Amino acid sequence: MIQEACRRTMANISQPSFPYTDKILKDWHSQGVHSIRDIQPLDEDHKKKQAARSATRQTRTPASNNRFNNFPQHEYDYDEIEKRLLNR
């Protein structure tokens, strides 16, 4: 199980990290995992939860952080502007 936790650590963050591996092992312990076979149902549940989260994120309209677009856009009549400039 420790090897599996280390493999997942490297797969997820691409660098050795004892705190990350320890968190995986603590989560497994709190969920009653005693063998590698116990991990598969947890992985399936995790994938379902992630899919549900990503589905709700896709339905939301992201808020724009760009305040510049909050102003009403100008509509110019370029022909009228050109006439005014030429008649001066």
Span 27-85, pLDDT tens digits: 999 999 999 999 999 999 999 999 888 877 766 666 666 666 666 777 888 899 999 89
Residue 68 CA to residue 80 CA, distance in Å, equals 27
Structural domain includes residue 74: no
What is the total count of domains within the chain?
1
**pLDDT value of position 88:** 74
Structural domain includes residue 76: no
DSSP 69: G
Residue 19 CA to residue 54 CA, distance in Å, equals 27
Structural domain includes residue 24: yes
Structural domain includes residue 81: no
Structural domain includes residue 65: no
Q: Where are the beta strands (DSSP E) in the chain?
A: none
What average pLDDT score do residues 11-27 get? Answer: 93
Token pair 């709190």 is found at 30
Residues near 70 by beta carbon (within 8 Å), at least 6 away in sequence: 64
Structural domain includes residue 12: yes
Structural domain includes residue 69: no
Structural domain includes residue 53: yes
- Is the whole-model pTM more than 0.85? no
Say whether 66 sits in a helix, a strand or coil: coil
**pLDDT value of position 5:** 93
Range of the domain at 15: 2-57
